[in-house]
């Protein structure tokens, strides 16, 4: 099954790298990058997802104005039908164990990747998502 | 010495108070009180009283009891008891409990009092210096904690990105694509360097000394023009400059440069590119010993709800072109050193005006 991808990261380079890795998985149906969480959230609320499609959302944690934690708090309040269409992978540079364990406690977070992540680790997580669906 | 040391003397015998004041008032500022409640009023009114002399035998309260009481409420003044030999037991007890720094026996001679004052003041200054240093240390520690947390992320972020870029480039065969990756890595390197430079500014402001010189704002403006001309041209932003300086102005050039540079850098960075009539203006007027610096733009502005936080370390109010988190904090620190003030007037999508006032040193 093909997947849609969204990346939310304020660093241009990191978005670019993620895009290449996503394309390399060969599972990419569509791709969109956001440099901030606010716009991403607006779009998620506004756009009705196609039936039966699944979107992988790569979420950076440390971002100005709205960080990854705040994004997830808002995301968890969305209707169940919307949430079911997304699989969030949070991506962090944080070395802080509290940050990492806190982010994994959210129900809607599928997995956590620590930057820099290898293509193999990324691909494995994507495979898990596509097999589950 | 600029100000006389303040000393309080409490005694129920008026004659003692008069004699004490008469012989010491030239060298010290003496307050006298006939009872302990009057003494408390003085202590509350003048928190910088450094030494308290108190008679032991007073009708309502003994000197030792009074000292024991004020020890917690007014811990800083040094407490000296005046007493006759007959009270020696209670004095020893008081000294051992730490209520009394010294005692002077009654009737006293001036030399005893003066040497007691000198020692007390010395002790006062040493211990209050210690308290002050301790406070500074606490502040520095908590700042360091926050600093280490933020810096580890802000430095590691771009580095990790660059590492990812290298990996990607190594696995890419198309040379044009590799070049594209390199370009982006270069931007990250630039950002990291900017961050480290701001961090250096932060350090210099926190630890550095001011170097006061005669400041010619024409010179300073020339330097700013050289830096920002290229931004103005490539982004078609009008850079308007006005200067009025007919008197000399003494201040720390590095700090003033840093203030103006940070404000200009923000003004150029947070523009709305689609706008037709983009501008950044720098207006400097030196008049009656005050330099008024106004940096204005019609860019993206600051959201009302963030206005109180923009001067905080590592606070970023913008989604796009996120800054280092040092800029306005550094501006505030520099202004604090120069006794300057800042006012911000901003409306979202309309623009921002920073008004800075700095007094001549």
Strand duo A55-60 + A3-8: pairing: parallel
Residue B313 CA to residue B331 CA, distance in Å, equals 11
Nearest-angstrom CA–CA distance, B288 and B165: 56
How close A93 comes to chain B (CA, Å)? 6
Looking at the partner chain, which of A14, A35, A62 has a beta carbon nearest the beta carbon of B320?
A35
Judge whether B34 is closer than 8 Å to chain A, CB to CB.
Answer: no
Distance CA B218, CA A39 (A): 44
- Can you give the pLDDT at residue B96? 83
Tell me whether residues A93 and B153 touch, CB distance under 8 A. yes
- Which residues in chain A are contacts of B318 at CB distance < 8 A? 64-65
Q: Is B201 exposed, middle or buried (0-12, 13-18, 19+ CB in 10 A)?
A: buried
Residues of chain B contacting A16 with CB distance shorter than 8 Å: 165, 181, 184
B157 with A12: Cβ contact below 8 A: no
C-alpha A103 chain-centroid distance: 12
- State whether the Cα torsion B317-B319-B324-B328 is positive or negative: negative
**Nearest-CB residue to B168 (from A11, A17, A94):** A17
Look at phi and psi of residue B321 and say left if phi exceeds 0, alpha if psi is from -120 to 50, else beta.
left
> Which residue stretches of chain B have pLDDT < 70?
1-2, 85, 320-322
A13/B187 touch (CB, cutoff 8 Å), yes or no = yes
In tens, the pLDDT along A103-132 reads 888 988 999 998 888 888 999 999 998 887
Strand partners, B219: none
β B78-83/B212-214 pair status = unpaired
pLDDT of A133 reads 59
CB-hemisphere CA count at 13 Å for B97? 13
- Nearest C-alpha of chain A: how many angstroms from B205? 25
Flag whether residue B151 sits within 8 Å of chain A, measured between CB atoms: no
The structural domains of chain A, ordered by start, are: 3-132 (3.40.50.2300)
Write the pLDDT tens digit of every residue in A36-89: 999 999 999 998 777 778 999 999 988 888 889 999 999 999 998 889 899 999
In the sheet with B51-55, reading across from the earlier edge strand, the strands are B28-33, B5-10, B51-55, B78-83, B102-105
Put the strands of the sheet holding A55-60 in their side by side order: A28-34, A3-8, A55-60, A86-92, A109-114
Minimum distance, in Å, between the CA of residue A90 and any CA atom of chain B: 15
What integer best gives the mean pLDDT of chain A?
A: 89
Contacts of A38 in chain B (CB under 8 A): 319
pTM: 0.63
pLDDT of residue B343: 95
Q: Which residues of A touch B269 (CB under 8 A)?
A: none
- pLDDT tens-digit map of B253-303: 989 999 999 999 999 999 998 999 999 999 999 999 999 999 999 999 998
Cα three-residue angle B256-B262-B268, rounded to 5 degrees: 135
Q: Which residues contact B32 (CB under 8 A, 6 or more apart)?
A: B8, B9, B10, B11, B17, B20, B21
Whether chain A has a CB inside 8 Å of the CB on B164: the answer is yes
Separation of alpha carbons A124 and B163, rounded Å:
21
């Amino acid at each position: 099954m093909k997947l849609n991808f969204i990346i939310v990261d304020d660093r241009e380079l990191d978005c670019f790298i993620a895009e290449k890795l996503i394309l390399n998985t060969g599972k990419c149906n569509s791709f969109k990058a956001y440099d901030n969480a606010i716009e991403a959230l607006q779009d998620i609320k506004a756009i009705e997802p196609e039936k039966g499609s699944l979107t992988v959302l790569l979420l950076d944690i440390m971002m100005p104005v709205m960080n990854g934690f705040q994004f997830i708090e808002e995301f968890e309040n969305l209707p169940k039908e919307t949430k079911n269409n997304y699989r969030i992978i949070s991506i962090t540079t944080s070395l802080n164990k509290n940050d990492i364990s806190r982010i994994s406690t959210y129900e809607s977070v599928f997995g956590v990747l620590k930057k820099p992540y290898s293509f193999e680790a990324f691909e494995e997580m994507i495979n898990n998502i596509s097999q589950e669906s | 010495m600029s100000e006389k040391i303040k000393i309080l003397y409490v005694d129920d015998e008026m004659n003692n108070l008069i004699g004490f004041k008469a012989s010491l008032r030239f060298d010290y500022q003496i307050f006298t009180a006939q009872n302990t409640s009057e003494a408390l009023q003085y202590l509350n009114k003048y928190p910088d009283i450094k030494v308290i002399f108190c008679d032991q035998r007073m009708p309502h309260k003994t000197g030792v009891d009074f000292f024991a009481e004020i020890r917690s409420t007014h811990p800083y003044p040094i407490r000296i008891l005046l007493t006759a030999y007959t009270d020696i037991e209670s004095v020893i007890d008081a000294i051992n409990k730490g209520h009394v720094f010294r005692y002077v026996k009654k009737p006293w001679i001036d030399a005893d009092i003066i040497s007691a004052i000198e020692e007390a003041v010395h002790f006062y200054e040493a211990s209050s210096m210690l308290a002050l240093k301790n406070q500074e240390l606490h502040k520095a520690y908590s700042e360091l904690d926050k600093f280490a947390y933020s810096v580890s992320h802000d430095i590691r972020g771009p580095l990790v990105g660059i590492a990812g870029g290298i990996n990607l480039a190594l696995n890419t065969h198309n040379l044009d694509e590799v070049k594209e990756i390199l370009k982006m890595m270069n931007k990250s390197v630039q950002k990291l360097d900017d961050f480290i430079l701001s961090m250096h500014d932060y350090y210099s402001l926190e630890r550095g000394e001011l170097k006061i010189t005669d400041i010619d704002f024409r010179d300073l403006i020339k330097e700013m023009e050289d830096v920002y001309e290229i931004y103005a041209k490539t982004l078609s932003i009008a850079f308007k400059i006005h200067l009025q300086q007919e008197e000399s102005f003494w201040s720390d050039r590095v700090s003033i440069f840093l203030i103006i540079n940070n404000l200009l850098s923000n003004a150029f960075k947070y523009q709305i590119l689609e706008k037709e009539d983009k501008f950044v203006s720098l207006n400097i007027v030196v008049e009656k010993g005050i330099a008024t610096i106004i940096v204005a733009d019609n860019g993206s502005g600051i959201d009302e709800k963030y206005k109180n936080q923009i001067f905080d370390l590592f606070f970023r109010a913008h989604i796009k072109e996120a800054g280092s988190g040092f800029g306005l904090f550094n501006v505030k620190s520099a202004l604090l050193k120069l006794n300057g003030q800042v006012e911000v007037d901003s409306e979202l999508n309309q623009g921002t005006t920073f008004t800075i006032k700095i007094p001549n040193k």
